[in-house]
A and B are shown apart, each in its own frame.
Chain A
Amino acid sequence: MTEVIEFRDAIRDALDEELARDERVVFFGEDVAEAGGVFAVTGGLREKHGPERVFDTPISELAITGAAFGSAVCGLRPVIEIMFGDFLGLSMDSIVNQAAKFFYISAEQASVPLVVRSAVGAGGRFGAIHSQLPANWFINVPGLKIVAPSFPGDAKALLKASIRDENPVLFLEHKRLYAMKGPGGEGKEVAELGRARVVRAGTDVTLVSAMKGTHDCLAAAERLTGAGIDAEVIDLRTLRPLDADALLSSLARTHRLVVVEEGPLTGGWAGEVVALLAEHGLHDIDDIWRLATPDHPIPYSPPLEDAFLPGPEAIAASVTERLGSTNGAVGEPMYSPAS
Chain B
Amino acid sequence: MTGAPANHAATDPVSEPGAELDRDEALALYRRMLLIRRFEDTVQSLFLRGEIHGTTHLYSGQEAVAVGVCSVLEANDRVAGTYRGHGHALALGVEPQGLLDELLGRETGVCRGRAGSMNVVDLKHRLIGCFGIVGGSIAAATGAALALKRRDGVAVAFFGDGATNHGYFHECLNFAKVLALPVLYVCENNLYGEFTPWEDVTAGQIRERAQTLQIPAATIDGNDVAVVRRAAGEAVSRARAGGGPEFIEALTYRFVGHSRSDPGKYRKPGELEAWRERDPLRRAREVLVEGLGASPDSVAQVEADVAAEIEEVTDRALAAPFPQPGAVREFAP
| A residues lining the B interface (CB < 8 Å) | 26, 55, 57-58, 60-76, 78, 90, 93-94, 97-98, 101-110, 142-143, 167
Contact in complex: A70, B332 (CB < 8 Å): no
CB distance from B181 to the nearest CB of A (A): 9
Q: Which of B121, B132, B143, B172 contacts A74 (CB 8 A)?
A: B143
Q: Which of A58, A72, A105, A106 contacts B123 (CB 8 A)?
A: A106
Contact in complex: A67, B143 (CB < 8 Å): yes
Residue from A70, A76, A98, A103 whose CB has the most chain B CB atoms within 10 Å:
A70
Task: Kindly state whether residue B133 has any CB partner on chain A within 8 Å.
Answer: yes
Contact in complex: A76, B139 (CB < 8 Å): no
Q: Which of B115, B143, B148, B331 contacts A69 (CB 8 A)?
A: B143
Contact in complex: A58, B171 (CB < 8 Å): yes
Q: In the complex where A98-B140, A102-B121 touch, is A74 in contact with B175 (Cβ < 8 A)? A: no
* B155 surroundings in chain A (CB, below 8 A): 70, 74
* A98 surroundings in chain B (CB, below 8 A): 129, 131, 136, 139-140
Binary per-residue interface labels of chain B (292-323) against chain A in the complex, 1 for a CB within 8 Å, 0 otherwise:
00000000000000000000000000000000
Q: In the complex where A60-B175, A70-B128, A74-B78 touch, is A143 in contact with B333 (Cβ < 8 A)? A: yes
Give 5 CB contacts A-B under 8 Å: A58-B178, A65-B139, A66-B138, A102-B121, A109-B124
What is the bound-complex CA distance between A106 and B121, given in angstroms?
Answer: 6
Chain A residue nearest in CB terms to B151: A75
Binary per-residue interface labels of chain B (39-62) against chain A in the complex, 1 for a CB within 8 Å, 0 otherwise:
000000000000000000000000
Chain B residue nearest in CB terms to A55: B179
What is the bound-complex CA distance between A58 and B167, given in angstroms?
Answer: 13
Given A69-B139, A94-B139, 5 more A-B residue pairs with CB atoms under 8 Å apart are A60-B172, A67-B143, A70-B128, A104-B114, A104-B331
What is the bound-complex CA distance between A110 and B141, given in angstroms?
Answer: 16
Contact in complex: B178, A70 (CB < 8 Å): no
Contact in complex: A105, B115 (CB < 8 Å): yes
Contact in complex: A105, B139 (CB < 8 Å): no
Contact in complex: A57, B123 (CB < 8 Å): no
* A94 surroundings in chain B (CB, below 8 A): 136, 139
What is the bound-complex CA distance between A310 and B44, given in angstroms?
Answer: 58
* B332 surroundings in chain A (CB, below 8 A): 104, 142
Q: In the complex where A75-B147, A167-B333 touch, is A67 in contact with B129 (Cβ < 8 A)? A: no
* A143 surroundings in chain B (CB, below 8 A): 333
* A63 surroundings in chain B (CB, below 8 A): 139, 142, 168, 171-172, 174-175
Contact in complex: A105, B143 (CB < 8 Å): no
* A110 surroundings in chain B (CB, below 8 A): 123
Binary per-residue interface labels of chain B (156-179) against chain A in the complex, 1 for a CB within 8 Å, 0 otherwise:
000000000001100110110011
Contact in complex: B136, A93 (CB < 8 Å): yes
What is the bound-complex CA distance between A97 and B136, given in angstroms?
Answer: 9
Task: Kindly state whether residue B119 has any CB partner on chain A within 8 Å.
Answer: yes
CB distance from B19 to the nearest CB of A (A): 30
* B119 surroundings in chain A (CB, below 8 A): 101, 105
Chain B residue nearest in CB terms to A72: B143
What is the bound-complex CA distance between A76 and B332, given in angstroms?
Answer: 22
Contact in complex: A109, B121 (CB < 8 Å): yes
What is the bound-complex CA distance between A110 and B252, given in angstroms?
Answer: 33
Contact in complex: A71, B144 (CB < 8 Å): yes
* A60 surroundings in chain B (CB, below 8 A): 171-172, 174-175
CB distance from A100 to the nearest CB of B (A): 8
* B272 surroundings in chain A (CB, below 8 A): none
* B128 surroundings in chain A (CB, below 8 A): 70, 73-74
CB distance from A91 to the nearest CB of B (A): 10
* A55 surroundings in chain B (CB, below 8 A): 179
Contact in complex: B122, A109 (CB < 8 Å): yes
What is the bound-complex CA distance between A68 and B145, given in angstroms?
Answer: 11
Contact in complex: A66, B114 (CB < 8 Å): no
Q: Which of B80, B115, B121, B175 contacts A58 (CB 8 A)?
A: B175
Chain A residue nearest in CB terms to B124: A109
What is the bound-complex CA distance between A61 and B143, given in angstroms?
Answer: 13
What is the bound-complex CA distance between A263 and B121, given in angstroms?
Answer: 37
* A62 surroundings in chain B (CB, below 8 A): 139, 167-168, 171-172
Contact in complex: B123, A107 (CB < 8 Å): no
Q: Which of B172-191 contact A (CB under 8 A)?
A: 172, 174-175, 178-179
Contact in complex: A70, B121 (CB < 8 Å): no
Contact in complex: B175, A76 (CB < 8 Å): no
Q: When A and B form their complex, which 5 residue pairs have the shortest distance between CB atoms, in order from nearest?
A: A70-B143, A66-B139, A74-B147, A63-B171, A60-B171
CB distance from B271 to the nearest CB of A (A): 33
* B172 surroundings in chain A (CB, below 8 A): 60, 62-63, 66-67
Contact in complex: A93, B140 (CB < 8 Å): no
What is the bound-complex CA distance between A74 and B149, given in angstroms?
Answer: 11
Contact in complex: B145, A70 (CB < 8 Å): yes
CB distance from A68 to the nearest CB of B (A): 6
CB distance from A53 to the nearest CB of B (A): 10
What is the bound-complex CA distance between A66 and B179, given in angstroms?
Answer: 14
